[in-house]
């Protein structure tokens, strides 16, 4: 079996980004995450590098007015914002890509994962942001990677003997350090695990790990989303003005993990204790914004508000975070993978796009005002 080419410029740039994203991490599993991301970026490159998508902007922050579609007036309080992973050109069309990671099945187009994404508001949010900035996108695409379920495994004596004799594993050359380790350890080294995962996602099951799906959005759907967005803004404003932030006990253990504010809600802690600090910007993904971000409504903020209004209050109104907040693997993995993808796409970026806004460094594109403010936004 021929060895997969893994030394393309895009792959090497992504691997550098992976190392940089983990350089300050104290997580015990940082090296394992690095191995997974390096293997996956090779698979991503093999799967998608032949597609003629020309990136126009990468990891760009966009801001626009929160507009009432019924009155065509702006909110006096809120703006909308978001960071779009990728805007690209292909076949004369302009589209956006949102990168996602999941542990669910993505190979089956009828799987629950895709059904949920069909009504996800993020694509509409991004369409609306660019539209209000004078750029009408033709399409949007979910770019999804399924996180590996395989881990370093125990090798049989026959497998270890074959590796030492051939100095090769899963079609990759093995270092002397790994060969020496096999003399005393029956489990794969991280190098051997990375080789096996690389083959799995490049040759054996690429469709298991990588899928893309279009996100159709009609103009009528975007206008309906704009109405919903306005309503969410009014609800957030009402909660702020009345200082009423109802708790949702059903959200305390979402995804099997306690909410980071559970100690405060349950009375074992307070926001003013020495465990908490105020963030300079309540949107960790929009660090380029001027100000504290409390006037910016993002898709993530809306989902948080819908999940639990008390959590929204602590996260987006007070803007507090724990001093000693641990790096959860799922968050760290997603953080590293996004850095890898940004670096991978950057190697295909023209020096400057036709409309002059393409670059790899974060920046803010903000729309000018669209007239008078809506009085309905003064009070609920």
CA distance 247 to 344: 41
Q: Whats the size of the chain, residue-wise?
A: 380
Output the six-digit token pair for 10.
């895009």
- Which two structure tokens, joined as six digits, stand for 174? 């093995």
pLDDT tens per residue, range 327-336: 576 788 999 9
CB-based burial of residue 253 (10 Å sphere; 0-12 exposed, 13-18 middle, 19+ buried)? exposed
Three-state DSSP at 321 gives strand
Three-state SS for 261-287 is CHHHHCCCCCCCCCCEEECCCCCCCCC
Q: Are 340 and 14 in contact (CB under 8 A)?
A: yes
The pTM (predicted TM-score) of the whole model is: 0.88
**Nearest Cα to Cα of residue 225 among 89, 124, 296:** 124
Could you give the 3-state DSSP secondary structure of residue 42?
Answer: helix
Kind and range of the H or E element at 144? Answer: strand 139-146
Predicted confidence pLDDT, tens digits, the chain (380 residues): 444 556 799 999 999 999 999 987 777 789 999 999 999 999 999 999 998 899 999 999 999 999 999 999 999 999 999 999 999 999 999 999 999 999 999 999 999 999 998 888 999 999 999 999 999 999 999 999 999 999 999 999 999 999 999 999 999 999 999 999 999 999 999 999 999 999 999 999 999 999 999 998 999 999 999 999 999 999 999 999 999 999 999 999 987 789 999 999 999 999 999 999 999 999 988 988 888 999 999 999 999 999 999 999 999 999 999 876 655 767 889 999 999 999 999 999 887 644 444 444 445 665 545 556 664 444 32
Selection from 317, 156, 153 nearest residue 241 by Cα: 317
Helix/strand/coil for 285: coil
Sign, CA dihedral 269-272-276-281, equals positive
Give the residue carrying structure tokens 């076949």. Answer: 91
Tell me whether residue 108 is exposed, middle or buried, using C-beta atoms within 10 angstroms of its C-beta: 0 to 12, 13 to 18, 19 or more: exposed
Other CB atoms within 10 Å distance of the CB of residue 89: 18
- Compute CA distances 329 → 61, 138, 253, 335, whole Å: 25, 35, 17, 10
Which of 88, 98, 95 has its CA nearest to residue 56? 88
For the segment 225-249, what is each residue's pLDDT rounded down to a tens digit?
999 999 999 999 999 999 999 999 9
- Show the CA angle centred on residue 332, arms to residues 326 and 338, nearest 5°: 155
Q: Are 222 and 127 in contact (CB under 8 A)?
A: yes
């Amino acid at each position: 079996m021929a060895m997969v080419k893994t030394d393309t410029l895009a792959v090497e740039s992504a691997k550098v980004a992976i190392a940089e994203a983990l350089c300050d991490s104290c997580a015990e599993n940082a090296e394992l995450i690095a191995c997974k991301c390096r293997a996956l970026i090779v698979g991503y490159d093999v799967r998608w590098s032949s597609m003629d998508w020309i990136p126009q902007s990468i990891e760009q922050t966009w801001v626009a007015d929160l507009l009432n579609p019924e009155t065509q007036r702006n909110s006096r309080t809120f703006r909308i914002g978001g960071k779009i992973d990728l805007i690209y050109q292909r076949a004369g069309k302009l589209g956006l890509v949102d990168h996602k990671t999941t542990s669910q099945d993505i190979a089956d187009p009828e799987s629950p994962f895709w059904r949920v994404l069909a009504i996800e508001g993020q694509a509409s949010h991004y369409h609306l942001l660019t539209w209000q900035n004078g750029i009408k996108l033709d399409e949007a695409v979910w770019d999804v990677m399924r996180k590996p379920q395989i881990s370093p495994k125990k090798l049989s004596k026959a497998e270890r003997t074959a590796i030492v004799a051939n100095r090769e594993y899963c079609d990759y050359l093995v270092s002397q350090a790994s060969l020496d380790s096999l003399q005393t350890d029956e489990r794969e080294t991280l190098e051997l695990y990375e080789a096996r995962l690389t083959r799995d996602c490049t040759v054996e099951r690429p469709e298991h790990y990588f899928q893309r799906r279009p996100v159709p959005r009609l103009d009528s759907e975007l206008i309906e989303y704009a109405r919903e967005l306005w309503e969410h803004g009014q609800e957030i404003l009402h909660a702020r003005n009345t200082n009423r932030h109802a708790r949702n006990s059903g959200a305390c253990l979402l995804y099997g993990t306690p909410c980071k504010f559970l100690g405060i809600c349950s009375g074992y802690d307070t926001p003013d204790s020495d465990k908490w600090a105020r963030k300079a910007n309540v949107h960790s993904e929009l660090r380029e914004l001027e100000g504290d971000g409390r006037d910016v409504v993002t898709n993530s903020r809306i989902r948080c508000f819908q999940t639990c209004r008390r959590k929204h209050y602590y996260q987006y109104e007070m803007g507090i975070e724990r001093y000693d907040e641990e790096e959860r693997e799922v968050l760290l993995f997603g953080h590293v993978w996004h850095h890898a993808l940004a670096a991978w796409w950057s190697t295909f970026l023209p020096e400057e796009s036709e409309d002059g806004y393409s670059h790899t460094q974060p920046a803010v594109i903000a729309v000018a005002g669209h007239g008078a403010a809506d009085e309905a936004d003064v009070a609920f």
